[in-house]
Amino acid sequence: MTTSGTTAFNMDFTEIAEEAWERAGREMRSGYDLRTARRSMNLMTIEWQNRGINLWTIDEGTLSLTSGTGQYNLPADTIDLLEQVIRTGSGSTQQDLTISRISVSTYASIPNKTNTGRPIQVWIERLRDQPRINVWPVPDSNDYTFVYWRMRRVQDAGNGAETADMNFRFLPCLVAGLAYHIAMKVPELAERIPLLKQVYDEQFSLAAAEDREKTPARFVPRAMRI
């Protein structure tokens, strides 16, 4: 017998909701059932983002810095920055230079926040509606580019026809978690909650363990001189 020859399996939101309702112990019968599942899925993906880094949500972005301007808005769906550099030049003369992330306390203690030069520090304000960065020193030319790798929000569940904004490895976890969240809202399904919670936790652990960078790590002790 031959195999299918394809590896494109995916599920739109309606299929995800139907599978979750069936695992919870009921069929999805109404538009409200779909609506409440969509709401639970949106809350659950926010929960995942609070748990840690989801590799498929890492994007690279750039901001062109302007001479005399030290504050810049990031895309509104940015959760946080993972890495950042200051880029100068282009082509064969391009260089990426380190810029250190500092806390609000460190930024507040800078005596003269209007000093100009090549930015070497950045304070990231994780505001409610749109995060922004404050670079110091304030750029002294237009030749600097702030290059960053950010963690963005997972896109919302759609109206039923769209697929989920996530890596295929998380589909079993998504269905298991949605079934658990649905059961918590339906009194007659309460007896299934412990089993569904156990399955959800197992599936999340499997997916999270696979969704990681697989690079060697080297730890070197730092000796302090007295």
Region 18-41: mean pLDDT is 95
Supply the pLDDT for residue 219: 63
pLDDT at 116 over 90: yes
Secondary element (H or E) of residue 171: helix 171-185
Spatial distance between the Cα atoms of 42 and 57, rounded to a whole number of angstroms: 15
Mean pLDDT over 162-185 rounds to 95
The band of 159, judged by pLDDT with boundaries at 50, 70 and 90, is confident
Per-residue pLDDT averaged across 96-111, rounded?
Answer: 97
Provide mean pLDDT across the span 113-137: 97
DSSP 26: S
Q: What is the mean pLDDT of residues 73-84?
A: 97
Q: For residue 223, name the pLDDT band (cuts at 50, 70, 90).
A: low
Q: Is the pLDDT of residue 226 over 60?
A: no
Mean pLDDT of the 141-156 span: 96
- Give the pLDDT score at 143: 95
Whether the predicted pLDDT of 5 surpasses 70: yes
The DSSP secondary-structure symbol of 106 reads: H
Structure-token pair, residue 79? 């959760």
Mean pLDDT for the chain overall: 93
Query: What percent of the chain has pLDDT above 70?
Result: 96
Mean pLDDT to the nearest integer, 130-143: 97
Q: What is the pLDDT of residue 86?
A: 98
Q: Is residue 206 classed exposed, middle or buried when 0-12, 13-18 and 19+ CB atoms within 10 A define those classes?
A: middle
Do residues 50 and 204 touch, judged by C-beta distance below 8 A? Answer: no
Region class of 160: left (phi > 0), else alpha (psi between -120 and 50), else beta: left
Of residues 216 and 58, the one with the higher pLDDT is 58
Residue 225 has pLDDT above 60, yes or no: no
Q: Which residue's structure tokens are 């030749």?
A: 143
